[in-house]
Structure 1
């Protein structure tokens, strides 16, 4: 147990939620000299999130590296998340340039493997107290700001005072509600169901995503020979799915281009999902409060960004607030720095995702870029960097990229037109 200093606080920071965002933030803050109480409402240390894409995009790799988890993740059998994407113009298959560096990668790894791993890393970090069975029931407030939490525990209610309260408690964040942080909700007009399969071979052993306009699907190869298969149809198909979930799920997958051989695979889980998963956005800070992961921004599950953003926002918070949280700076100023970085890095991604969540076909600009990416290796790499959240929308749709996409498509159609006009030889 970390011994508190005589500051009037039990800890410098109290974090609600010991999943990816909370555990990463606790570890990174403690390494910077911050005393952290990491609260988890579940009592079992091996608790993990079930409904998830189980994918860490390449944007998360630097955080995993800083946490010292890369070797452990590799040892656990995690799969580098290379992918190919189906479109009406053909497959987009990102590959490294012949003379260039390898493509950056993240990992596909089941949360049953990842969550206990990252939580144990936090628990073993000096300066972190992992408090299981602690569910936040309210905020302690003084002078219009949060100065701690009240929590329900197996031994009764507990008050924990801290300079900063961090909500890492998911899209339905109790911390955000207690802090009265407004939420902006964008409707998601797709629903989602997924299941895990063993012995489900995919070409090249790599993950697949299908852009079916407006429906979506993906198959992500994971650790221990397990593949996560998800379908994300337009909600207009929901009544039929509800009549026969298993039959509708299997029929959907069988109809995919180059469909994975799902009938010969072993399904290892139930088919689970959600029929209402809106995209949520909150301001990432309030007086004495910071929100990370899904508590601040809940993305569309079809993009698989949640795990990566959970780790990135944890890192951004630790970098911004650590000195002030330890009593060596202006905490409000530090929180503003975190909020500005959060908005700058993620708001554009969320706006594009919210628009695409309307279950619509590709718009003209998307048609331009996706068609070019299916026809040109450089454009495929450009799209890969955006899909991995290594670049933002402005760089993705910058004038040079759009000009190249246009040139690629014009060249393709000229070649196709010349080929069509050539006389066919008669045998």
Structure 2
């Protein structure tokens, strides 16, 4: 029941978007004592995002654990997302440290499974009101800051006031548009198409990624025996690719090293994708507003980091603002703290993704690290931690890491030099 105007806003937080970032933020904020309105423009509680890598990188595991979703994910058949990566130097195959900790992981799980699961968890959380069929049509301003939203709802127009409005509504965020917070776009010089297959075996049953410089591809096993296969070629190939989409897709996959046998598998979806998916970044906060997930930062889908970052940003926001939205702190200072965390943790990763999205071959540092990783287990584990977003770019390219990679490659060159000389002399 709405409180009288004199008693303050109806909610502490109103969140637009009830997918991963929005549902996670709603759960975490409500557990910290906030009253949350979770708005979803779609009326179907089983709605889900279609265009996705369907992978939760290992950086999201602590958030999944806090949300209590690990047992539920494993019950659905979600697949631990260990992976191997093809490069021109061979396969990078990270392994557990001998007599040490196992490699961290999270899960590959279809969004058709994941989205309804986390949304239902949010709906059952005390303090969360899930409002389906509620589309944001504007924001309410008061004293120079956003103080709520206007929505189109099944019973007509409605105004919902809150101490904080959260945009969890994707890269084209309506909340950001109405609040006047623009995004900075970065060109993605690759396009992408994907399809789902059942009965598609992969070596060791784990994810495969192909770095073809500049083209990319991946195959991720998911729940219910379904594998998503994606191709991400340079846009220079787009005109020819479009002439015969199905033929081009299958020809691309068949040509991959150790190609997954798509011709003998059952394709259970259409080949879908996008020819233009720019990266976006926007300020993660404004007076009375915060953004999580793709609404704050949309990266290159080839890295599969979007779902993990959606969950992490929801957790960072809840940690930063929960006291303030429940009347126990300064909201502007809390939002500033969230913005600092967001930029400190993600800005370096995004800069590297923006650079690689130009569809270029590996640069010298990348050649050093990836070639060494194909030859050395320790460097392969280092690559795994970085790809899982458990390591910052400065640590990934630290002097120690570069020295290790250089030593590995030098040892490799010395070991192969005698055979190369024999080959040249015809011996």
Instruction: Sort the TM-score into its range (normalised by shorter chain).
Output: over 0.9
**Contact residue 185 and residue 280 of structure 1 kept, 8 A:** yes
Give the length in aligned residue pairs: 427
| 1:146 maps onto 2:146 in alignment | yes
Q: Secondary structure at the match of 2:374?
A: helix
Cα distance between partner residues in 2 of 1:85 and 1:6? 59
User: Does 2:390 align with 1:397?
Assistant: no
SS in 2 for 1:375: coil
Q: Gapped runs of 5+ residues in structure 1?
A: none
Q: Which residue of 1 aligns with 2:415?
A: 415
Q: Distance in 1 between matches of 2:236 and 2:254?
A: 20
| Pair 1:52 & 2:66 matched | no
Deviations 1:64-96 (A, max 9, x none): 000000000000000000000000000000001
Which residue of structure 2 lines up, in the alignment, with residue 181 of structure 1?
Answer: 181
Moved over 4 A (4+): 1-6
Q: Is the 8 A contact 2:3 2:9 kept in 1?
A: no
Residue 200 (structure 1) aligned with residue 197 (structure 2) = no
Matching residue of 1:38: 38
1:3, distance to aligned residue in structure 2 (A): 6.7
Question: Hey, what does 1:323 align to over in structure 2?
Answer: 323
Q: Residues 239 and 137 (structure 1 numbering): CA distance in 2 closer, same or farther, change over 3 Å?
A: same
Counterpart CA distance in 2 for 1:246 and 1:144 is 52
Residue 421 of structure 1 deviates from its aligned partner by: 3.8
1:302 corresponding residue in structure 2: 302
Q: Which residue of 1 aligns with 2:253?
A: 253
Distance in 1 of aligned mates of 2:179 and 2:46: 29
Q: Which residue of structure 2 lines up, in the alignment, with residue 19 of structure 1?
A: 19
Q: Contact conserved, 1:2 with 1:35, CA < 8 A, in 2?
A: no
Tell me the CA shift for residue 5 of structure 1: 9.4
Alignment of 1:217-228 (within 5 A): 217-228=217-228
1:337 Cα deviation after fit = 0.2
What is the alpha-carbon distance in structure 2 between the residues aligned to residue 411 and residue 144 of structure 1? 63
Task: Give the distance between the partners of 2:142 and 2:38, measured in 1 at CA.
Answer: 22
Q: Deviations over 1:305-360 (max 9, x none)?
A: 00000000000000000010111110000000000000000000000000000000
CA contact (8 A) 1:2 1:127 kept: no
Gaps of 5+ in 2: none
Q: 1:423 to 1:237 in 2, by over 3 A?
A: closer
After superposition, what is the alpha-carbon deviation per residue over 1:366-386, rounded to whole angstroms, capped at 9, x for unaligned?
Answer: 000000000000000000000
Cα distance in 1 between the residues matched to 2:379 and 2:28: 36
1:106-146 per-position Cα deviation (integer Å, ceiling 9, x unaligned): 10000000000000110000000000000000000011100
Q: Per the alignment, do residues 54 and 423 of structure 1 end up closer, same or farther by CA in structure 2, a change over 3 Å counting?
A: closer
Of stretches 176-185 and 255-264 in structure 1, the one that deviates more from structure 2 is 176-185
* SS of 2:7 mapped into structure 1: coil
Cα drift, residue 4 of structure 1: 8.1
Q: Is the 1:184–1:281 Cα contact (8 Å) retained in structure 2?
A: yes
TM-fit CA distance, 1:2: 8.1
Q: Is the 8 A contact 1:208 1:218 kept in 2?
A: yes
**Matches of 2:423 and 2:51, distance apart in 1:** 56
C-alpha displacement at 1:422, in angstroms? 5.3
